C-alpha cells in the first residue's frame, strides 16, 4: 500500500499535467539580455584544482585563453586522479556584448555517471550530444535550438566579472544535456560576502548563488519529483579588476558537488635563485641570468 505522501505526490503530478494540457502553461519567463563588455578579456594562463567539499583533491586544472581580435578562445582541462577527463573549449566574441560562438565539452571516465561529448554552434543553434546510456551503448542526440543572446555555457565567471556596478541580480541562459539538449535559465543573485586572506592581507569576496530555472512543465515536475538541480555558488573579487576565486556546484546532471579553486605554483625545494647561484659559483663563469 502506498504511503500518504506518495499518493499526494502522484495527485499533484496529475493536477500539473492536466493544468498544462488545458492552459498551455509555460512557466515564468526571464528576459534574455546579453552582458555588456566592461572588462575586455585577454591572454591568460592559470592553474586550478578540483576538490570534494571535504577538501580532497580529485583533479588538477589548466586554463588557457587566447585572443584573435575581438574573438576569444578559452580552454579549461581537468585531469582526474582516477583517469577521468573534463575538457571544455568555449569561443566567444566581445564586441560591445559577449556572444557565444561555439562550445565543446567532453566529460569521460569513472568520475562521470554518463560520459558526454556536447557541441554547441552559437551561430546555427545546432546542439549535438554524444553520450553513453545506462546499458553502455553509445548514442547521439541532436537538436536545433533558438539560442538567446545571453547564452553562458563556459562563460559564467566571465559574465560575473562584467556585471554592472552594484548589480544584485542577473539572468543568463545555458544549454544542458539531459541527455537531450535543453535550454534553461540561470537566475544569478548576490548572496553575501566572505573574507579571505593572501599572506597577511585581508580581502572580501562577493558570493553569488546561481539557480537553474528549467521553466515550464518540466520545471514544475522537476521540483515535485526531486530532480531540481542544486544551486551553484561562485566567489568573485570585485573592484577595478574583478576576478574569479572559487566555485562550488555539480559538473554534470546528478553529479556530486565539487569545489573549483585557483592554485599557486609550489616550487621544488632548493630551486630558488640562491640555490642556482650557489651551483653556478661552484663552477666557472658568472651565474646564469
pLDDT in tens, 98-133: 999 999 999 999 999 889 999 999 999 999 999 988
Q: Does some domain include residue 93?
A: yes
In the prediction, which pLDDT does 252 show?
A: 86
Q: Does some domain include residue 100?
A: yes
In the prediction, which pLDDT does 6 show?
A: 43
Is pLDDT above 80 for 3?
no
Q: Does some domain include residue 185?
A: yes
Q: Which domain holds residue 207?
A: 4-263
Q: What is the pLDDT of residues 32-81, one digit of tens each?
A: 678 899 999 999 999 999 999 999 999 999 999 999 999 999 999 999 99
Average pLDDT over residues 235-246: 94
List own/partner pairs for 49-52 with CB under 8 A and 24 or more apart.
49/260, 49/261, 49/263, 50/78, 50/80, 50/258, 50/259, 50/260, 51/258, 51/259, 51/260, 51/261, 52/256, 52/258, 52/259
Q: Does some domain include residue 86?
A: yes
- The candidate with the shortest Cα–Cα distance to 194, out of 159, 233, 235, is 235
Q: Does some domain include residue 235?
A: yes
Domain count, the chain: 1
Q: Does some domain include residue 287?
A: no
Contact 34, 54 (CB under 8 A): no
Cα–Cα dist 148/185, whole Å: 10
Q: Does some domain include residue 269?
A: no
Cα–Cα dist 228/285, whole Å: 67
Average pLDDT over residues 151-158: 96
Q: Does some domain include residue 284?
A: no
Amino acid at each position: 500500500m502506498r504511503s500518504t505522501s506518495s499518493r499526494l505526490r502522484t495527485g499533484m503530478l496529475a493536477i500539473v499535467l492536466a493544468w498544462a494540457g488545458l492552459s498551455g502553461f509555460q512557466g515564468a519567463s526571464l528576459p534574455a539580455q546579453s552582458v555588456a563588455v566592461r572588462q575586455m578579456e585577454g591572454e591568460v594562463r592559470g592553474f586550478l584544482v578540483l576538490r570534494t567539499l571535504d577538501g580532497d583533491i580529485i583533479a588538477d586544472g589548466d586554463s588557457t585563453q587566447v585572443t584573435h581580435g575581438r574573438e576569444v578562445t578559452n580552454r579549461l582541462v581537468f585531469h582526474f586522479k582516477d583517469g577521468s577527463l573534463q575538457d571544455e573549449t568555449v569561443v566567444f566574441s566581445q564586441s560591445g556584448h559577449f556572444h557565444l560562438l561555439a562550445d565543446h565539452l567532453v566529460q569521460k571516465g569513472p568520475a562521470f555517471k554518463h560520459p558526454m561529448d556536447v557541441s554547441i554552434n552559437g551561430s546555427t543553434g545546432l546542439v549535438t550530444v554524444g553520450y553513453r546510456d545506462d546499458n553502455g551503448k553509445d548514442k547521439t542526440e541532436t537538436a536545433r535550438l533558438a539560442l538567446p543572446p545571453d547564452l553562458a555555457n563556459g562563460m559564467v565567471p566571465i559574465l560575473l566579472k562584467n556585471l554592472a556596478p552594484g548589480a544584485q541580480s542577473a539572468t543568463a541562459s545555458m544549454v544542458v544535456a539531459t541527455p537531450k539538449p535543453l535550454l534553461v535559465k540561470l537566475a544569478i543573485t548576490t548572496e553575501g560576502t566572505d573574507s579571505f586572506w593572501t599572506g597577511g592581507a585581508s580581502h572580501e569576496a562577493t558570493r553569488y548563488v546561481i539557480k537553474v530555472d528549467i521553466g515550464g512543465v518540466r520545471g514544475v515536475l522537476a521540483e515535485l519529483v526531486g530532480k531540481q538541480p542544486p544551486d551553484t555558488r561562485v566567489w568573485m573579487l570585485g573592484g577595478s579588476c574583478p576576478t574569479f576565486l572559487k566555485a562550488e556546484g555539480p559538473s554534470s546532471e546528478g553529479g556530486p558537488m565539487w569545489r573549483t579553486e585557483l592554485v599557486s605554483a609550489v616550487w621544488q625545494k632548493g630551486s630558488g635563485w640562491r640555490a642556482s647561484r650557489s651551483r653556478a659559483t661552484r663552477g666557472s663563469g658568472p651565474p646564469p641570468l
